[in-house]
Structure 1
Amino acid sequence: MDLIERMIWDTKNGQILDEERRYVMLRADVLMGIFNQLPDAERQQALHSFMNSVKAHGSNSVAAYWLAINKNPQVLLDTMIRISAQLGWGAWQICKYTPQELTIEVINSPFAKASIVSQTPVCTPILGIMESMGSFIFNGPVQVLEHFCHAQPNHSKSCLFIIKPVAHV
């Protein structure tokens, strides 16, 4: 499934749609510039709110994909990797996939690349969508951790996410 093929670019009405779900194109530096201007405590709270919003609203998209691919966990994972790249959310690569853990490396995260240097990870939107995706893949609640982030001091060239079913945390 390719999101690009599903999208309707309705320039007459000024909207980009995937069925009833509306998308907005926005430069990463403009978006992350909002967070970069906040004092650290407020920045962390705003990033946390961003994660929760992506988790809540992104779950509608993940649920639609889940049904479209006949509830197949591997196909959902492959679909999410492809769609994330199509949306500009970096290149996702599976490092480990077992019944107890899914580890994904994200190369070129737009959130990390457009962030100021941060002591804590900043890719909270990816955390939110991975939590939604993980709940379908593992058939229940999951915990997602950004183990390291490109935006952190002495950073890696990528970000690493670990998804575990709550029963295995």
Structure 2
Amino acid sequence: MIYIVMGVSGCGKSTIGDLLSKQLSLPFYDADDFHFPESVKKMASGIPLTDDDRKPWLTLLANKITDWEASGGAVLACSALKQSYRNILQSTTSDTVRFIYLKGEQALLASRLKSRDNHFMPDTLLASQLATLEEPKDAITISLDNTLDVMLSQILEAIK
């Protein structure tokens, strides 16, 4: 099984994804680590990525998902903001992808981004991400109003 922890920047994808991977004894990957240098530069300059910018990255991730599926599964932290992006991510698998959507209010997300260090994504792009976000209808939805332990427990209960 491939679990994709998704949501806008600052929602805790990497933190929850890492915790989940340890609970499930699966490798953890962060989609940010697979961005092409020109995309990182663009985002670091405060310029949102376009669908054309994202497509090669999503295709690369879809191919990685095939490899991870073949080796027993994985947890991936990935924004996966639009349904079309999620379709690309799961296009190479045999129905083994589950999305876990971390949902929070803009004020909470903004405060998290302001306190984050050493990340290429500036907090000024949050509004762009929220505008792009198409909330998934078929994902496990977890509220950011809970503690990490509660969120992780909710995810584990939902994937049983």
Q: What TM-score does the superposition give when structure 1 sets the normalisation length?
A: 0.30
Higher helix proportion, which one?
2
Q: Whose radius of gyration is greater, 1 or 2?
A: 1
Higher strand proportion, which one?
1
Higher relative contact order (CA 8 A, sep 6+): 2
